[in-house]
Amino acid sequence: MSQIKIQRLGLHGDGIADGPLYAPLTLPDEIVEGDVEGNTLKNMRVLQPSEHRVKAPCRHFKACGGCLLQHASDGFVATWKVDVVRQALAAQGLESNLLPIITSPSQSRRRAVLSARRTKKGALVGFHARASDIIVDVPDCQLLHPDLMPALEIVSELSQMAGSRKGALSATVTLAETGLDLAVSGGKPLDGALLAGLAQQAERFGLARLTWDGEVVATRMTPYQLFGAARIVPPPGAFLQATKEGEQALLAAVKRAISGGKVGVDLFAGCGTFTFPLAEKYQMHGIEGETSMVSALDAGWRGSSGLKQVTSERRDLFRNPVIAEDLRYDFAVIDPPRAGAEAQISELAKSHVSEIAYVSCNPVTFARDAAVLVASGYVLEWVQTVDQFRWSSHVELASRFIRK
């Protein structure tokens, strides 16, 4: 076995030694030994642990792949995630005021994708083991909100009832204001008997809504989310910020990034996470590529009161960005997927929008887009790092750009 010193953490949370050689679940400055297989260290043992190594708070950590960094102290993870943002900016020749990170607490995830597989004796429900299709039961998960935990039993029952022994079910479970909103895919095809059985299960477990392979089979209570004063009903399995605390941290940063004006545009608006809270002060136009989300956004506006006008538009901002001449707004909010918003940022860079609040879940593509804005005359005033995917390698942020 080879003895190796870990030099740093990579973007995916693995320790990296010279080579590069990747060693999962290690920390910088640790001395480890193991078998070198390709560029990975297997059968590893830590000989000299880091001062930042801690006992994992969850008993499932070693087997489950849902968390990657429970072996590191909270302070270390916080510093590392801010450094990920700093390094991404530096790679583009940028720097900014990096505000202290805001981290969501444990047991706060209100949305998760569970995997389930029928077995001879019942079902396995949980998350996949690292780099494996093996499903690990997680009855004492320290990540999920306590009100989300009953979904483990519910998905197990549904898997035994309508799952396949040949494949796994995927269940997106979301904590709505009225209960659990469950969207399942990969099960048996719907027929009359299964539809009736699923409806009975939804009633038995008190689900707010149950969707099966894209078809809503039961809605007992409207599964709405609160975005500011607006009640929004997202499409089944739709994107939602992972924790309420994370959403509030990002929203607070977006509000801080906007100093005034009357009219704003929300690009990649989703169902209105930022649109509706901002509509308490500003007239807003939300643009989103998914038809179902635009419908939810429009319905939310029509069902709300006490807000400024909210208009909405379905548009693929990757293929058909809003051109600079049409960006006649006092400010813009933009929250793209991990790929960033290269085409739309190119148009924003040519616009006269005075303030931009950019929210990102990928520091690398954010830094790439930020460099385009800075080169066109914008100033990146500050970046707020947000860790709502606790114990993972994911990093989110919000930022403020202003025209010189």
Q: In 10 A of CB 275, how many CB atoms? A: 31
Which residues form the catalytic set? 361
Q: Which amino acid is located at 302 in the chain?
A: R
Alpha helices in 123-273 (DSSP H): 151-162, 192-205, 244-257
Query: Structure tokens of 92?
Result: 């583009």
Q: Which residues of 280-304 are buried (b: 16+ CB within 10 A; e: fewer)?
A: eebbbbbbbbbeebbbbbbbbbeeb
Residue that is written with structure tokens 């690009």 in the block: 267
163 to 124, 137, 274, 338: CA distances (angstroms): 11, 17, 37, 32
- Say how far residue 132 (Cα) sits from the centre of its chain: 22
38 to 33, 42, 53: CA distances (angstroms): 15, 10, 26
Is-contact 103 78, C-beta < 8 A? yes
Query: Structure tokens of 178?
Result: 């009225």
Distance CA 374, CA 169 (A): 45
28 preceded by cis ω (within 30°)?
no
